[in-house]
A and B are shown apart, each in its own frame.
Chain A
């Protein structure tokens, strides 16, 4: 049998049987402890940097923080006050709505364009691999930097996009107020985020497409299936696990968006691009009301948790393989 199964059974039996002589004189308990020493530092780190913040955030959401808290160290418990205040705050309900629009719009755009490009680059032609590699650049550049570049491009008076649209006669001299109008700014942010997310979607979906057995396509073409029919009856069903992973990972990184919005619009104009992420930042780090910030943070976690369950179900196959 494979080496993988043999180590697994040796480990499960506590190292009994054909264990190496050098280790045989050690007690099983000591060996067990030594093995845990490999994992312990990472576990301790994760407890401190992921576990502790999760618990602390729940506690903080019931505490009253003021700008003075960090001098006096006093943050008395105040029951449900933070929760009531946040849920009564119009900014919160607005940001919830903006986050939903931003996430759905971004995912739709990124996924559709990413899938189209993945299908296109699956064809065999010269420079395919090279172009595919270079297209990753927007995804690897820091998001703040991309947002700053776009802020210049989308500038109403001096931006390149408005001058180009004006040159071909599509818009008037005034141009489109991409980032200056409350009714357009969120759409602009979605467009920029779609641009950032296309490479990631393309690469993962491309990888998924390569896993689909060629024979299926050959059989379909023998049956005289049309290109669209083949795509719908073979490509999409076979691609489904990868599609789930791409969409859930995309959701996770989009729903908590902060960098892009802060650098592009700072949440404005007139709070029209505030999201759950930026509101958490604003409440905690600008108004220094960490209690209310924690409430919005907890809502964000709750939303993420629902989708984490989806992700883990899609990934279940991987746990089966593990030891």
Chain B
């Protein structure tokens, strides 16, 4: 009898240990929520449990930082559009056309991932100043697209290599040109890879702080990362509202983790190893 139960007992122990690990590692996330739900946390010490939870902090957060959340959303969405529009055809070309020098391009794409963002910002600011792109949505969207582009090209190319060329050739026989065949056949077939690349570009752009900090000198275009950074500087006493802002800015990551789990897992392993 005991031999029958041993694996099950061990499994229960492992599950308990896993939940303990989870509790320790996610404690800061809990603390963020806990502080955000306690309206008096700015004066009194934060209690371990939000025994009398209130959404007052979220009211303050939304009224002061709501615009920044919207800005972040627009910028991140724009970055996704730019990034996929550039990466999808390029990945297809690199995967299927056997272009001369194609390997060199993949090689270069991998290298661009290594360029530190602050170096890009340093030179980009001068160029943006001349082109009047400082403090503009377009400027920030274009810069943020760079955070996802190399990743998207590498990921999409790895997928598109496996598309049988006969499928596209058949469409060409039917009179479609290469571009229509790409839009009608290749893109729908690559749906999952496109979603993965798009999700990650969204998260990269949503999380961007450096381009937001360096390519903006006014408050015209202020994403939430910059918003919370300035919020901490100015209202450091109102920690409840700061934490409520933090919770709101963590929502896309949390939602995607629940809704799009398989894409996230595919992206982390696919983008870094392949």
Contacts and interface: CB of A to CB of B under 8 A. Distances in A.
A195 B32 CA distance: 15
A304 B114 contact: yes
B115 A138 contact: no
Interface stretch (B49-57, B104-112, B190-198): B104-112
Contacts of B207: 141-144
Nearest to A12: B98
Interface in B152-166: 153, 161-162, 164-166
A54 B118 CA distance: 11
Interface in A104-160: 117, 120-121, 123-128, 131, 133-138, 140-146, 148-153, 158, 160
Nearest to B22: A131
B13 to A, nearest CB: 8
Given A245-B273, A300-B119, A308-B114, A149 B32 contact: yes
A67 interface: no
B221 to A, nearest CB: 16
Interface in B208-262: 209-210, 213-214, 224-225, 228-229, 232, 239, 242-243, 246, 249-250, 253-254, 256-257, 261
Interface stretch (A31-39, A87-95, A169-177, A226-234): A31-39
Interface in B129-147: 129, 142-143, 145-146
A38 B28 contact: no
A252 B18 contact: no
Interface stretch (A77-85, A180-188, A212-220, A315-323): A315-323
B164 A3 contact: yes
A57 B119 contact: yes
Contact of A256 (B103, B117, B124): B117
A235 B69 CA distance: 45
A311 interface: yes
B4 interface: no
Contacts of A52: 123, 127
A273 interface: no
A246 B224 CA distance: 29
Nearest to B96: A7
A263 B232 contact: yes
Nearest to A13: B98
A44 B118 CA distance: 21
Nearest to B212: A144
B73 interface: no
B114 A141 contact: no
Contacts of B25: 135, 138, 195, 198
Interface residues of B, number: 108
Given A249-B272, A259-B209, A35 B250 contact: no
B185 interface: no
Contacts of B146: 45, 49-50
Contact of B119 (A137, A146, A200, A280): A280
Interface in B8-66: 10-12, 14-15, 17-19, 21-22, 25-26, 28-29, 31-32, 35, 45-46
A150 B243 CA distance: 11
A41 interface: yes
A5 B256 CA distance: 37
A7 B207 CA distance: 39
A60 interface: yes
Interface string A190-212: 00000100101001100100000
A138 B116 contact: no
B103 A304 contact: no
A11 B99 contact: yes
Contacts of A56: 123, 126-127
Given A22-B173, A160-B31, A323-B161, 9 more contacts: A117-B21, A124-B11, A125-B14, A145-B249, A148-B228, A204-B272, A297-B118, A322-B103, A323-B96
Interface of A: 3-4, 6-12, 20-23, 34-36, 38-39, 41-43, 45-46, 49-50, 52-54, 56-57, 60, 70, 117, 120-121, 123-128, 131, 133-138, 140-146, 148-153, 158, 160, 163, 195, 198, 200, 203-204, 207, 242, 245-246, 249, 252, 255-256, 258-259, 262-263, 277, 280-281, 284-285, 290, 293-294, 297-298, 300-301, 304-305, 307-308, 311-312, 315, 318-319, 321-323
24 contacts: A11-B98, A23-B172, A38-B89, A42-B153, A46-B150, A49-B124, A50-B146, A52-B123, A54-B119, A57-B119, A117-B21, A120-B14, A121-B18, A125-B10, A133-B265, A138-B28, A141-B249, A143-B207, A144-B207, A148-B242, A200-B268, A245-B272, A294-B122, A301-B116
Interface of B: 10-12, 14-15, 17-19, 21-22, 25-26, 28-29, 31-32, 35, 45-46, 85-87, 89-90, 92-99, 102-103, 105-120, 122-127, 129, 142-143, 145-146, 149-150, 153, 161-162, 164-166, 169, 172-178, 182, 203, 206-207, 209-210, 213-214, 224-225, 228-229, 232, 239, 242-243, 246, 249-250, 253-254, 256-257, 261, 264-265, 268-269, 272-274
